[in-house]
Structure 1
Amino acid sequence: MMANVVVVAAAVVVLLTLPATVIPQATPMAGAATGAATATPSPTPTPSPSPDLPSAALPPPVQATPEFARQVKANEAGMVPVLMYHRITKKRLASIDRTPSQVRQEMEKLARGGYVPVTAQEFVTGKINIPAGKHPVVLTFDDGHASHFALDGNGMPARDTAVGIIYQVAKKYPSFRPVATFWVNQQPFGLRGRKDQARAVQWLTSRGFEVANHTWGHPYLPGLSKKKVAEQLVRVERLLEKLGTGPSDTLALPFGAMPRKRSTVQAGKWDGTRFAFKGVFLAGAQPSVSPFVKDFDWRAIQRIQSNGKRGECRKWCSQYWLEWLNKHPDKRYTADGDPDRVSVPQKLRGIIGSERRRQVNAY
């Protein structure tokens, strides 16, 4: 956990020392007239009923025998990269920013490497129903920034937003399933009006994306009382309900900072409204273990910051870890294509959690 502590400290320093223009603010939607940075975004266009976009539908499952699992080198006890993104900007103003080109290149690399996206919710609940021989990756975006999702004048995802890039990669590589998780604060995707927020959230969730909780005001949770933490979480849960989604199954901790009492962010209530998560995500700094193994802790799931290999990222960020997993294929999660079985090499059957033991397909 030491790596995560260092990453949390670095994230707090970066985000708290950024100039005001770097902190996520409402910005115009793609296709809107250019104006001041604080201008109210234009309304999100109503999505076309039959958009020309790749589907997030999962392929038909197969029945995995031990011999089939051996052939595809299945290892569903392996490690899974949960990638963490923040703002996507043409010019990086902070170390955690990524340019559209950097995001696009990384996702194309994932696609070529046999990775198939699943949402954070699918991951924590074990619904990793991807094709045999493929590897799951969880694409996560913090803060609900305007650079994550906007629609152009034709009602299609703006090219250089996160969603636009994901669909571009999915068109180029059909096995790259177009889904991701967006953890939002009080102003999803930089939109101020509730109707615009609802259109955006429903556009995403109707196409397989997950929109979930990242607290109302992005505070440093260890500095808040239990009541204040619950208020931060409930206010987002109430917002998402009004927007037509939720309750959230997953939570990303602001700055990756865990409150002193971990149960504070797992379940609770404020002002008569309850919350309960199935997965709580940190800010780094290594791949997550499989949700099927004994060591999986849904209360503190590791993520990897999307970045290069300079400075603190030398061994903690996405470029390093994706190269490491490629060099150690026996350590990463490889699917068997069978949602009813957990396929692993015989030597690993003992590390599968008791609740999944009847599903073990060892070879």
Structure 2
Amino acid sequence: MRVPGSLPRIIGIANVVVITVAVIGLSLLPAGPRPQAGPKAAEHGRSPAAAASPEPSASPVGQPPGVVATPEFARQVRANEAGLVPVLMYHRILAKRHASLDRTPDQLRKELVRLAERGYVPITAREFASGDIRVPAGKHPVVLTFDDGHPSHFGLGADGGPLPGTAVAVIQEVAGRYPGFRPVATFWVNREPFGLRDRAAQEAAVRWLVDHGYEVANHTWGHPNLRMLKRKKVGEQIVRIERLLKKLGAPPSETMALPYGSMPRPKKAARSGSWDGTRYDFAGVFLAGAEPSLSPYAKKFDRGAIQRIQSNGKKGECRKWCSQYWLEWLDKHPRERYVSDGDPERISIPEALRGNIVAKRGLQVIAY
């Protein structure tokens, strides 16, 4: 079943305009203090606060080996792997908000706790786009995405862990309180990841994130409006940041987020192409959208234009288009939400939805 009213095209366009204006506004505001990070950061001892709250590592995805879904089991957990998935979009995480897209650490914490208490398990954008969804039976995947690689997303403290108040510190904290809440997210970065200009500091930050299960991927070199660029320039923007990420120790990007949610012409240039002898080919390209994403197994799922939801309350333009509204809507419409069968080798769905999916990667379909 589609989201009510299918969110008419004009509303979707209006939402992207709102996000574009807000993001442009962010670029005109001060970035705030830069985290002090460098190769020597890990040499210092852990702070008392860090010692009191051990840092959880990224837990392995999926169920223990040997879990095999059956029609009876899928029915028991009400599995629906053709359901909707919230892909949440964050920008700056600041103690005091300066723009509508900003969230405070406390607002982020409350949203993550809400997700944890309602059975959501984070996966990366790469895992989602490639259909590699491994969460326990009866649980729901959620994708946490952060645009622009802002200093408020991550920095290494003197103890070698995430700076307090950053997005990663909050994610790790919530995961420590809720062991089933996997501490992973996707950070789409530009030419100065996390506001760092020193190459050694950039490398230390990226390596920490990758080693702890986070995804660090492509948001273009200079954050331009790709729709305004010729195809060759689009390729240059994507390849230049890809080369930087390789130098910093990140694996090749399998996902990218469109700056301002703006699609280049032709559309396919965002997902695959080349520049200066270097090719790129993404499993998924993400919009700045206004609704939950279709399942990656759905026939109508478009890997070149994956929907996201802005993290925000229910005021102004967010009355129906941001995270508070949509998370409440999914709670009220549980049959529309993605529910895992706990078996990554099978796709379990109610019989009525059999015609809505395409089995990816040869996975077996269970309809009950």
Give yes or no for TM over 0.5.
Answer: yes
Question: What is the rounded CA distance, in whole Å, between the counterparts of 1:160 and 1:274 in structure 2?
Answer: 37
Residue of 238, 252, 255 corresponding to 1:247? 252
Aligned CA distance change for structure 1 residues 52 and 216 (closer, same or farther; 3 Å): same
Segment drifting more, 143-152 vs 346-355: 346-355
Residue of structure 2 in register with 1:60 after alignment? 64
Q: Secondary structure at the match of 2:41?
A: coil
User: For residues 194-226 of structure 1, what are the alpha-carbon distances to aligned partners after superposition, in whole Å with 9 as ceiling and x for unaligned?
Assistant: 111111111101111000000011011111111
Question: What is the rounded CA distance, in whole Å, between the counterparts of 1:328 and 1:44 in structure 2?
Answer: 50
Structure 1 residue 357, shift from structure 2 partner: 7.1
Question: What is the rounded CA distance, in whole Å, between the counterparts of 1:155 and 1:21 in structure 2?
Answer: 29
1:189 aligns to 2:194 (yes or no): yes
Structure 1 residue 56, shift from structure 2 partner: 2.4
User: For residues 99-129 of structure 1, what are the alpha-carbon distances to aligned partners after superposition, in whole Å with 9 as ceiling and x for unaligned?
Assistant: 0000000000000000000000000111111
AA matched with 1:5: I
Question: What is the rounded CA distance, in whole Å, between the counterparts of 1:283 and 1:362 in structure 2?
Answer: 33
Residue of structure 1 in register with 2:49 after alignment? none
Q: Secondary structure at the match of 1:350?
A: helix
User: For residues 320-360 of structure 1, what are the alpha-carbon distances to aligned partners after superposition, in whole Å with 9 as ceiling and x for unaligned?
Assistant: 00000000000000000001100001111111115467611
AA matched with 2:34: P
AA matched with 1:4: G
Question: What is the rounded CA distance, in whole Å, between the counterparts of 1:149 and 1:355 in structure 2?
Answer: 34
Residue of structure 2 in register with 1:324 after alignment? 329
Residue of structure 1 in register with 2:147 after alignment? 142
8 A Cα contact 2:219 2:258, kept in partner: yes
AA matched with 1:204: L
Question: What is the rounded CA distance, in whole Å, between the counterparts of 1:293 and 1:321 in structure 2?
Answer: 20
Residue of structure 2 in register with 1:92 after alignment? 97
1:212 aligns to 2:245 (yes or no): no
Structure 1 residue 55, shift from structure 2 partner: 3.1
1:28 aligns to 2:34 (yes or no): yes
Residue of structure 2 in register with 1:104 after alignment? 109
Residue of structure 2 in register with 1:37 after alignment? none
Q: Secondary structure at the match of 1:237?
A: helix
1:353 aligns to 2:349 (yes or no): no
Q: Secondary structure at the match of 1:199?
A: helix
Structure 1 residue 42, shift from structure 2 partner: 5.7
Residue of 338, 342, 354 corresponding to 2:343? 338
8 A Cα contact 1:128 1:339, kept in partner: yes
Residue of structure 1 in register with 2:6 after alignment? none
Q: Which residues in structure 2 correspond to 1:289-328 (within 5 Å)?
A: 289-328=294-333
Residue of 149, 167, 170 corresponding to 2:175? 170
Aligned CA distance change for structure 1 residues 55 and 259 (closer, same or farther; 3 Å): closer
8 A Cα contact 2:137 2:341, kept in partner: yes
Residue of structure 2 in register with 1:12 after alignment? 20
8 A Cα contact 2:113 2:174, kept in partner: yes
Question: What is the rounded CA distance, in whole Å, between the counterparts of 2:350 and 2:309 in structure 1?
Answer: 26
Aligned CA distance change for structure 1 residues 47 and 100 (closer, same or farther; 3 Å): farther
AA matched with 1:92: R
Aligned CA distance change for structure 1 residues 17 and 129 (closer, same or farther; 3 Å): closer
User: For residues 182-203 of structure 1, what are the alpha-carbon distances to aligned partners after superposition, in whole Å with 9 as ceiling and x for unaligned?
Assistant: 0000000111111111111111
Q: Secondary structure at the match of 2:348?
A: strand
Gaps of 5+ in 2: 1-8, 47-53
AA matched with 2:253: S
Residue of structure 2 in register with 1:80 after alignment? 85
8 A Cα contact 1:294 1:352, kept in partner: yes
User: For residues 62-120 of structure 1, what are the alpha-carbon distances to aligned partners after superposition, in whole Å with 9 as ceiling and x for unaligned?
Assistant: 11110000110100000000000000001100000000000000000000000000000
Residue of structure 1 in register with 2:241 after alignment? 236
Residue of structure 1 in register with 2:130 after alignment? 125
1:45 aligns to 2:41 (yes or no): yes
8 A Cα contact 1:44 1:199, kept in partner: no
Structure 1 residue 264, shift from structure 2 partner: 1.3
Aligned CA distance change for structure 1 residues 340 and 42 (closer, same or farther; 3 Å): closer
Question: What is the rounded CA distance, in whole Å, between the counterparts of 1:8 and 1:154 in structure 2?
Answer: 40
Question: Normalized against structure 2, the TM-score is what?
Answer: 0.91
Q: Secondary structure at the match of 1:144?
A: coil
Identity of aligned residues (%): 59
Structure 1 residue 16, shift from structure 2 partner: 2.4
Aligned CA distance change for structure 1 residues 348 and 309 (closer, same or farther; 3 Å): same
Q: Secondary structure at the match of 1:177?
A: coil
Question: What is the rounded CA distance, in whole Å, between the counterparts of 1:44 and 1:110 in structure 2?
Answer: 35
Q: Secondary structure at the match of 1:102?
A: helix
AA matched with 1:60: P
8 A Cα contact 2:120 2:141, kept in partner: yes
Structure 1 residue 18, shift from structure 2 partner: 4.6
Give RMSD over aligned pairs.
1.9
Question: What is the rounded CA distance, in whole Å, between the counterparts of 1:90 and 1:144 in structure 2?
Answer: 17
AA matched with 1:196: A
Residue of structure 2 in register with 1:36 after alignment? none
